[in-house]
Amino acid sequence: MNTEISYRPFLNRDRLVHIVDSDKATCDALDVLFRLEGFQTAISRNSDDFIARFGQRRPDVVILNFDLGGEDMLPALRRIKDMRAGIPVFMLADQPDIDGTVEAMRGGASDVFVKPVDSERFVRAVRDTLRRDVHLTASRDGQQEVEVRGFAQLTPREREVLQLITNGQSNKEAGRELGISPRTIEVYRARVMEKLGARNTADLIRIVLTS
């Protein structure tokens, strides 16, 4: 049975993307980008406004800059993930920061994007995250029988890493292909293994081959 549910923009009309960045140009660009995808949007350019708006209405997706006017927002990421509300958080970086990326991924960020953002890739990442939410909703509502596998929990980048791992590529080779560091690949690998219940790389490959 084909369990794939196609992405439908009209499903976004009740979904809120909260954009948190001190840079007005970034906020305006992302606001237009996600409104064109049918989302509702909220913009915060400082942490106080973000906290206030978050309390008024919990968003479906958060886009959060690492540095908000000189304030480190990684603690905010951790607080959101500690709520266990299933809210995906995409981090924005003004410039490449390997240590920050690793810490964000360990803190539960869905992905990290470095400015200038690749709009098409960014939207695709959010779409894939919300498509998995549609799978789960369809299953709960009983509208159709959907088989949810561990693979549905993986982010687009985690799936890319998984593909390269199962192709036998090393962390260094995978990092070179994806344009990220071997250390970051190792973080993704660990998260993939945890989500799929693999004890080691060999076990991970076995799970993929037998699924």
Instruction: Answer yes or no: CATH 3.60.21.10 is held by domain 149-210.
Output: no
> Across the strands, what pairs with 92?
65, 113
Q: Which fold has domain 9-133?
A: Rossmann fold (3.40.50)
SS3 of 131, please?
helix
pTM of the model: 0.65
Q: Would you state the pLDDT for residue 122?
A: 93
Report residue 180: phi and psi, to 5°: -130, 170
Within this chain, domains 9-133 and 149-210 share the same CATH topology: no
Q: How would you write the pLDDT of the chain (211 residues) with one tens digit per residue?
A: 343 444 455 556 678 999 999 999 999 999 999 998 888 999 999 999 999 999 888 898 999 999 988 889 999 999 888 887 778 999 999 998 888 899 999 898 989 999 999 999 999 888 877 765 544 444 444 443 333 246 667 888 888 888 888 777 888 999 999 999 999 999 998 888 888 777 777 667 666 655 5
Rounded to an integer, what distance in angstroms lies between the CA atom of residue 27 and that of residue 63? 10
Q: Would you state the pLDDT for residue 168?
A: 77
Cα end-to-end span (Å), the chain: 14
Rounded to an integer, what distance in angstroms lies between the CA atom of residue 44 and that of residue 29? 14
Domain residue ranges of the chain, discontinuous segments joined by +: 9-133, 149-210
Q: Would you state the pLDDT for residue 134?
A: 43
